[in-house]
Structure 1
Amino acid sequence: MSNLKTSVTAPSVISDFKEITKMRLALSVVFSSLAGYLLGVDTVDFKTLTLLAFGGYFMVGASNAFNQIIEKDLDALMDRTKNRPIPAGRMSVTTAFIIASIFTLLGIIILYTINKQTAMFGAISIFLYTCVYTPLKTKTPLSVFVGAIPGAIPFMLGWVAATDDFGIEPGTLFALQFFWQFPHFWAIGWFLFEDYKKGGFFMLPTGKQDKGTAVQTIMYTIWTLLVSIIPVFGFTGSLKLSIVAAILVFILGLGMLYYAIRLFKDMTEKAAKQLMLASVSYITLVQIVYVIDKFIR
């Protein structure tokens, strides 16, 4: 019987660990930072690449665990989050805090072994996410602006890890992922509007599912599109983009813009969900195009 018990509890411990660190989200962030690294290096150092992957994962995992500790009472109110390990009672706050603290230390130490600047940006992202973005979520829609900063750091972090330098190149990568987060976040805020309301979160810029929110979503999608093709014009230092790659990136951007306009026209949760999926595809594909373009140019 005891054998059966362990086989039942083991998967739930693993799934709770994945849940508290938001493994899928963390892996997408790691993907961004690795893309940034590949764009910044002359020759790929697999040791650094591995350190960056683990360091990045620990940083995001720590931010998510701290976030879930702070929001445990609000998470219990929302259908989307009430089954998370802490509000569901499967994990104590102490355990989560230990995980978050260990992850923070490991993340900063690992990133520090790459270089000091990488560790500094990693630490800034944890601080902003946990201490500024999380508390602001129930206070003001401006929380999305704050949350977009740590959310935009990974792409840039990879470049800094590769070069130990912060300049126009990582700045451009940061701007691209910064602007992208608004249509992405607002799409999520739109189709989860009622659920977010239960927890007291107001993520949409006007606080409502209205034309004002839809217009701002279109505006930020256009900004994202424009920033993503800037490297083709040659004034972003060593971050370059060929004409072919720029056209590809522009077409991907038009795809996302199509869904943003659809949201404006339809004003439905289905349209918002489609925009969210389009935004995820967009950022992943743009990063892949950037990296492939660099290595075949």
Structure 2
Amino acid sequence: MSKAITNNQSVDLISDFKEITKMRLAVSVVFSSVAGYFLGAEVIDFVELLLLAVGGYMMVGASNAFNQVIEKDLDVLMDRTKNRPIPSGRMSVKKALFIAFTFTILGLLVLYIINPVTAMFGAISIFLYVSIYTPLKTKTPLSVFVGAFPGAIPFMLGWVAATNDFSIESGTLFMIQFFWQFPHFWALGWWLYNDYKRGGFFMLPTGKRDRGTAIQIILYTIWTIAVSLIPVFGVTGRLYLTPVSGILILILGLGMLYYAYKLYKNRDEISAKKLMFASVSYITLLQIIYVLDKYIRIWI
């Protein structure tokens, strides 16, 4: 009996750890960083790649743990967050802070082993997310703009880790993920509008699920597609995309734009949810196409 209880406690502990660090989100961020590394590296160093994955996970996990400590009283008010470890009482604030500070220190050390520039951008990311973006979420819709900066760093971070340099290539990767976040988070904010409202969060640019917000979502979707296609024209240094891959990216982008238009037309939660998932598919497939395009060119 005691063994069963111990096993259940271990499972609960692992589950809470995954939730306090937002494992699924952290893994998607690590995926972006790894994609950026493959794009930037001339020779793949798998030890360096592993350090990037571990350090990246720790930085994201730390940011999420700090975020949940700061928003613990607001998380209780929302259906999607009330069962998180802290508001549910399964984890103490002290334990969450221990995880957050430990992950911050270890994450920065791991990234510093790769190179100081990577550690610097990792530190900037966690500072912007925790100290500026998180407090602004209950103050102004501009929080999404501020949050787009740390959110855009991972794709770029991989290139910086591989090259020890911030250049036009890494800047382009940053801009792709920067513009992408607006339709993504506004779609999420529209879908979960009532829940966010209960928590006092202002996520939509006009503050409402209205025509103005829908138009801005369409505009930022178009800008995301445009920035994603810049490497096709050979003006971004070593970051190049063949016309065939450019067409694939354009098709993906038009698919995302279609869902953005459907949201503008219907202005309902279902359309917002579909756009949110379409945006996730877009950025994931874009990163895969970018990497495959590079290595297919090398192999050919």
**Code of the aligned partner of 2:262:** R
Matched letter for residue 198 of structure 1: R
Q: 1:192-231 to 2 correspondence within 5 Å?
A: 192-231=192-231
- Give the 3-state SS of the residue equivalent to 2:84 in structure 1: coil
Separation in structure 2 between the aligned mates of residue 18 and residue 113 of structure 1, nearest angstrom: 25
CA distance in 1, matches of 2:107, 2:3: 35
Query: How far apart are residue 2 of structure 1 and its match?
Result: 1.5
Identity of aligned pairs, percent? 72
Quick one: which amino acid aligns to residue 269 of structure 1? E
Name the SS of the counterpart of 2:42 in structure 1: coil
Look up the match of 1:10: 10
2-structure distance, mates of 1:137, 1:191:
17
| Residues 138-217 of structure 1 mapped to structure 2, 5 A cutoff | 138-217=138-217
Match of 1:100 in 2: 100
The gaps in structure 1 that reach 5 residues or longer are none
Q: How many equivalent residue pairs?
A: 297
Q: Deviations over 1:191-228 (max 9, x none)?
A: 10000000000100000000100000000000000000
Give 1:4 shift: 2.1
Paired position in structure 1 for 2:136: 136
Aligned ranges 1:258-277 → 2 under 5 Å: 258-277=258-277
Q: 1:245-293 CA distances to partner (integer Å, 9 max, x unpaired)?
A: 1110111110100000000001010000000000000000000000000
Query: Which residue matches 2:85?
Result: 85
Gaps of 5+ in 2: none
Aligned partner letter, 1:21? T
Query: Structure 1 residue 131: deviation in Å?
Result: 0.2
Partners in 2 of 1:6 and 1:47 — Cα distance? 35
Aligned to 2:32: 32
Runs of 4+ in structure 1 over 3 Å off: none
Distance 2:38 2:273 in 1: 31
C-alpha distance in structure 2 between counterparts of 1:106 and 1:114, whole Å: 13
Secondary structure of residue in 1 paired with 2:237: coil
After superposition, give the CA deviation of every residue in 1:87-138 in whole Å (9 maximum; x if it has no partner). 0000000000000001001110000000000000000000000000000000
- 1:167-186, Cα deviation, whole Å (9 max, x unpaired): 11000000000000000000
Partner residue in 2 for 1:53:
53
| Amino acid in structure 1 at the alignment position of 2:73 | D
Cα separation, 2, equivalents of 1:57 and 1:284: 17
TM-score in terms of structure 2 length: 0.98
What do the CA deviations read for 1:136-188 (whole angstroms, capped 9, x no partner)?
00000000001010000000000000001101100000000000000000000
SS of match in other structure, 2:156: helix
Q: Counterpart of 1:44? A: 44
Aligned partner letter, 1:56: G
How many Å apart are 1:10 and its aligned residue? 1.3
Q: Calculate the TM-score normalised by the size of structure 1.
A: 0.99
| Equivalent residue, structure 1, for 2:73 | 73
Q: Which amino acid aligns with 1:278?
A: A
